[in-house]
Amino acid sequence: MAYLGDSQNTLRELLAGDGRLKLLGYQKVRYDTNWKSYTDNDGYHAPLLHQAFKMLNWQGGNGRQFTATKRGHICFESALSVAHGPTVLKDKSLIEFKGQDPAVGSRIVSLFPTFVSTKHLDVINLRFATPIDAETVEVHYVYFAHQDDDEDMVRHRLRQSSNLLGPCGLISMEDASIFHRIHIGNHTPGSAIFQKGVHDPLKLESEFLQNDESGNLPRWEYYRSVMGFERAAA
Ligand SMILES: [Fe+2]
């Protein structure tokens, strides 16, 4: 419990409230990027870079992000937003929300260094990332239903999971492209600096606006301390 810190409640909501889950299956994806680029996240990339969200007329709901412990864990909580009037899908059930409470519709818990769990719409997903080499990270996706789901709900979760995430997922395929472009960009001489939401570069905060990129900083500060790296002179 001390390890999970303030992520416990978010994780509980993510795991359908009581954690009584039923395994649906596994997928894996190899991303052409370094594992450290894979683990960075920011709230604002979704409407800017995910063309699928634009095509589906799908905007995010209100939310926040916060640091769960000093070990670099980070949580995202946001209300669910359901796409309005998408015309590009013949079968709109792929992005239908059948859950009970839109207020807990979207949750992400990212545990240092490479574990991520997500709940979006009716998808319940855990991800374990393994660095293959400096250019490649392999991510294993695990999908769940709830034990009380009827047959239709299990099938719905299965279809939605594999259409949003994994090798054929509309979210993951676009992330793959973005990860790779960031990886190429990271070979450019110089430094990549998180700026959005940073008020004082020398002060770590624990609460962030939903779309800030400063939520990545506590994780990298913990990484620096674990690795024994000295902080570069300002
Ligand atoms: Fe993304």
Distance 153 CA to ligand 1 centre (A): 25
Which residues are 110's β-sheet partners?
74, 116
Kindly state whether residue 181 falls inside one of the protein's structural domains: yes
- pTM greater than 0.85: yes
Distance 48 CA to ligand 1 centre (A): 10
Which residues are 28's β-sheet partners?
140
What integer pLDDT is reported at residue 234 of this predicted model?
A: 58
Distance 74 CA to ligand 1 centre (A): 16
| φ, ψ (nearest 5 deg) of residue 148 | -90, 0
Distance 22 CA to ligand 1 centre (A): 26
Q: How far apart are CA 71 and CA 183, in angstroms?
A: 25
What integer pLDDT is reported at residue 193 of this predicted model?
A: 86
Distance 167 CA to ligand 1 centre (A): 14
CB atoms within 10 A of CB 17: 12
Kindly state whether residue 233 falls inside one of the protein's structural domains: no
Distance 206 CA to ligand 1 centre (A): 22
Domain extent for 196: 5-225
What integer pLDDT is reported at residue 101 of this predicted model?
A: 87
Kindly state whether residue 231 falls inside one of the protein's structural domains: no
What integer pLDDT is reported at residue 231 of this predicted model?
A: 80
The β-bridge relationship of strands 63-67 and 207-209 is antiparallel
What integer pLDDT is reported at residue 233 of this predicted model?
A: 67
Kindly state whether residue 232 falls inside one of the protein's structural domains: no
Q: What CATH number corresponds to the domain at position 174?
A: 3.90.380.10
Distance 174 CA to ligand 1 centre (A): 7
Q: What is the pLDDT along the chain (234 residues), one digit of tens a residue?
A: 889 999 999 999 999 999 999 999 999 999 999 999 999 988 888 888 888 888 888 877 899 999 988 899 999 999 987 777 778 888 888 889 998 888 888 999 999 999 999 999 999 999 999 999 999 999 999 999 999 999 999 999 999 999 999 999 999 999 999 999 999 999 899 887 888 999 988 888 999 999 999 999 999 999 999 999 988 765
Q: How far apart are CA 22 and CA 72, in angstroms?
A: 29
Distance 191 CA to ligand 1 centre (A): 22
Distance 99 CA to ligand 1 centre (A): 22
What integer pLDDT is reported at residue 70 of this predicted model?
A: 85
Give the HSE-up count for residue 184: Cα atoms under 13 Å, Cβ half-sphere.
5
Kindly state whether residue 230 falls inside one of the protein's structural domains: no
The residue to which tokens 């009581």 are assigned? 18
Domain count, the chain: 1
Distance 228 CA to ligand 1 centre (A): 30
